[in-house]
Amino acid sequence: MKATIWHNPRCSKSRETLAILNDTPGLEVEVVEYLKTPPTRAKLADLYARAGMTPRDGLRKAEDGAKALKDASDDAILDAMIADPILIERPLVETGKGVRLGRPPEKVREIL
């Protein structure tokens, strides 16, 4: 099976999630550093839909740019995330079984 992690190596939760993936026997892990290679708007919307999340659920609320999105629509939030990928909460993990936000990191076990 293959897993893709939308990863930020500076984030402890992202590193913990990556460790879980790397410790899973038989799992081929693709690491995408989303700050260097952001997802397209369509891909991000698809990831959230498959995870059962809204863009607001995936918004990194602690970032300064998120404060301006308090009353924004999902479309506006997605646009802001694409313009400034630091607003994307991480890590997102995608497998053939679904998508999970690795918060807490153990959540990804549901799709392994």
Catalytic positions, please? Answer: 11
DSSP state of 107: G
Place of tokens 């918060």: 103
Give just the sign of the alpha carbon dihedral 74, 78, 83, 87.
positive
β-pair partners for 6: 32, 92
Angle (nearest 5°) at CA 21 between 15 and 22:
85
Q: Are 87 and 81 in contact (CB under 8 A)?
A: yes
Q: Burial level of 32, CB count in 10 A (0-12/13-18/19+)?
A: middle
